[in-house]
Amino acid sequence: MLPKTAWKVAPSRNVEAQKRLASQLSISEVAAICLVNRGIEDEVSAEKYLYPRLRDLKKPDQMVDLARGAARVSDAIIAREKIGVFGDYDVDGLTSTSLMYLFLRETASAVEVRTADRFSGGYGLDCEMVDFFHQSDCKVLIVLDCGTSDHEAIGHARDIGLDVIVVDHHRIESAFPPAFAFVNPHRDDCGFDDTTLAAVGLTFYFCAAIRSKLVEVNFISPDEIDMRKFLDLVALGTIADVVPLGHNNRILARHGLTVMSDNRRPGIEALVNIARIHSRRINSSHVSYQLAPRINAAGRLASAMNAFELLVSTVDSDARHYSELLEQYTHERREIEARVSKSARAIASRQEKNNPRVLVVAGEGWHKGVLGIVAARLCEEYTRPVYVVGFENGLGTGSARGQGQINLYNSLEHCASNLIRFGGHRDAAGFSIANEKIEAFQQQLEQYASDNWVEQDTGVIVCDATLYPSQLSAALLDEISRMGPFGFDNTEPLFNIIGLDVLSARVVGNHHLKLLLKTPTGTVSAFGPNMGEYANKMPRIVNVAASLSADEWRGEDAIELKLAAPPVECSDTDLFNKSD
């Protein structure tokens, strides 16, 4: 996949607010520009953004069925009833399941845990799994990150006397499931005004509500079960699920990353070690690109229960065992992904010649565990929505990824007559389809896209500001870091950096570019993913579009530039206009 090569600097917005924030907060004008570019123009909003506090989390008082579900679970805890926990197989589902299990174990409850299996029951809860929990003598079943559309299984549970509590964040297709309690902010009767929470964020709220109920009835003291120690799991699932990092999610993720850095549980410590993360401070990039893919690999290739066991491990040797297993799955996943990507890319390349708004690529025997990754890569490469389908015995499993041009969930809803099942969000969705329906499905999608297309500026990188080498400092890095965690709806600041002297350029890893660049006070490194071909034709002085991060190999105060595009030669005009 070739990187983008063009970039520009965003036009100045509210210069007066930039100067005011720089003065009021004692921050650099560069940091103030980044705040204003994100719509933060007053001191109060900036303080809340830079220093988010847990007490500013939105109160869940209006979250329908939260209190009812919490009361039922607290009754089960007090009565020593066995509790079942079932979650999805992705990182959000696994962290939700792990959090719920660890919380219940703090109350000395008997707990039975299972996760969805991509290769047997598939996504969601089925009747066979309900029977398993019932036969295991569970009286309550908590279903996490799924359940919203599992009407048949939940109805079956109700009929056999198993109380089901669903805690989910997926869009509601039709009627509510017949659960004892259905906690989902997408309910049209729910007064909680944040529908962006990941399932693990909702699970955190749910456990906090159970805890409050147990304190209320004097089952535990107000000092027992500190909910803050679970925030590392909340951050992991929230960032991995690519939910908007707005108010609630950003508070949870920010504090969770701090917990993950300061007091790592054995499973996360083992995962950090096997991923070769050298920084003590874990950030959103570590989660997105190193930790989450390894956790997801378990559910993609085998049983997600292996990842669950890793996350809840209390013994270092067990954690190392499961981390090594996940690393093995990760290597296998990469090999499978490469084969499927090659086939899918060939089909996409042929389709692109007709300039469709969406790409629908399908193949027989494509491993269902890598379809989402392949869709994401093709979506980035072709800058349009991509639907990837793997068929087996006439039945297709599909995964879709988008960049905002259309709402993927709505597109599947529009095509429901050609689908067996579907679900998901705006930019990520899944579905199942019969082989004979694929052509009609593709035609329906193309028509939907034509009618609902919203153009996105996907071809040009937009930088927040222009920097010169003398401005690259540990102080600026610290200011930018305070704006994290970065992700969806809280993008990492990018800078147009002018006039860097190239001391060395080489290829590292899998065709990546590594530079050593001179500044007036020393050197900075730069890393360009998939840019290795530029190593042998690097100009002596370059301009780059890059974000700032700590260089894990050279020390926390050292800067590494993460290149968003290949460097370009610095012109005489650029050098003449330099301010330093």
User: What are the residues whose beta carbons fall under 8 Å from the beta carbon of 555, sequence distance 6 or more?
Assistant: none
Q: How large is the average pLDDT for residues 244-272?
A: 95
Structure tokens at 157: 């549970």
What separation in angstroms does the CA of 494 have from each of 119, 319, 417, 534? 41, 37, 43, 21
Element (DSSP H or E) covering residue 409: helix 408-414
As a whole number, mean pLDDT of residues 458-479 equals 92
Residue 98: name the closest of 313, 242, 243, 414 by CA. Answer: 313
CA distances from 230 to 281, 388, 489 (A): 17, 35, 24
pLDDT of residue 1: 43
115-119, 388-392, 532-536, 574-578: range with lowest mean pLDDT = 574-578
pLDDT the model gives residue 158 = 98
State how far the alpha carbon of 524 is from the alpha carbons of 155, 472, 551, 560, in Å.
60, 8, 8, 6
Query: How many Å apart are CA 446 and CA 452, to the nearest integer?
Result: 10
Percent residues over pLDDT 70 in the chain: 97
Assess contact for 452 and 426: CB atoms under 8 A. Answer: no
DSSP state of 420: S
What pLDDT was estimated at residue 414?
95
Task: Report residue 578: phi and psi, to 5°.
Answer: -60, 145
Determine the residue type at 163.
D
Positive or negative torsion for Cα 126, 386, 176, 170: positive
Nearest-angstrom CA–CA distance, 338 and 405 = 27
Is domain 461-576 classified as CATH 2.40.50.140? yes
CATH class for the domain made up of 66-244: alpha beta
pLDDT, tens only, 125-161: 999 999 999 999 999 999 999 999 999 999 999 999 9
The pLDDT, as a whole number, for residue 2 is 43
pLDDT for residue 232 is more than 70:
yes
371 CB neighbour count, 10 Å cutoff:
27
In the structure encoding, which two tokens stand for residue 127, read together? 């009747």
Residue 222, φ and ψ in degrees, nearest 5:
-60, -20
Contact 88, 144 (CB under 8 A): yes
The yes-or-no verdict on residue 219 having pLDDT over 90 is yes
Indicate if the pLDDT at residue 577 is higher than 70. Answer: no
In the three-class reduction of DSSP (H, G, I as helix; E, B as strand; rest coil), residue 33 is classed as helix
Which of 470, 471, 459, 472 lies closest to 564, judged by CA? 459
Write down the pLDDT at residue 20.
97
- Model pLDDT for residues 333-364, shown as the tens digit of each residue: 999 999 999 999 999 999 999 999 999 999 99
The whole-number pLDDT of residue 4 equals 52
Q: Is the pLDDT confidence value at 17 over 80?
A: yes
How remote is the C-alpha of 201 from its chain's centroid?
A: 12
Note the pLDDT of residue 455.
87
Split at pLDDT 50, 70, 90, the class of 579 is very low
Task: Please choose, from the candidates 432, 405, 400, the residue with its C-alpha nearest in 3D space to the C-alpha of residue 418.
Answer: 432
Contact 367, 335 (CB under 8 A): no
CATH class of the region 354-452:
alpha beta
Instruction: Please report which confidence band the pLDDT of residue 459 belongs to, taking 50, 70 and 90 as the band edges.
Output: low
Q: What is the DSSP code (8-state) at residue 288?
A: I
Q: Are 345 and 378 in contact (CB under 8 A)?
A: yes
Residue 111, H or E segment: strand 111-115
Write the CB contacts of 194 (distance below 8 Å, at least 6 apart in sequence).
58, 185, 247, 248
> In which residue ranges of the chain is CATH 2.40.50.140 found?
461-576
Task: For the chain, give the percent of residues with pLDDT over 90.
Answer: 88
Every domain range in the chain assigned CATH 3.90.1640.30: 66-244
Parts of the chain belonging to CATH 3.10.310.30: 354-452
Distances (CA, A) of 79 to 85, 212, 227: 17, 17, 23
Distance CA 565, CA 528 (A): 7
Q: How far is the first Cα of the chain from the last one, in angstroms, to the nearest whole number?
A: 36
**What six digits make up the tokens of 61?**
């008082």
Mean pLDDT of 242-260: 95
Selected residue with higher pLDDT from 367 and 424: 367
- SS3 for 447-463 is HHHHHHCCCCCCCCEEE
Map tokens 């590594």 to a residue.
Answer: 514
Phi and psi at residue 274, to the nearest 5°: -75, -25
Q: Give me the amino acid identity at 26.
A: S
DSSP string, 426-485: SSEEEEEEEGGGHHHHHHHHHHHHHHH------SSEEESEEE-GGG--HHHHHHHHTT-S
pLDDT at 557 over 80: no
Alpha helices, DSSP H only, in 111-198?
127-135, 151-159
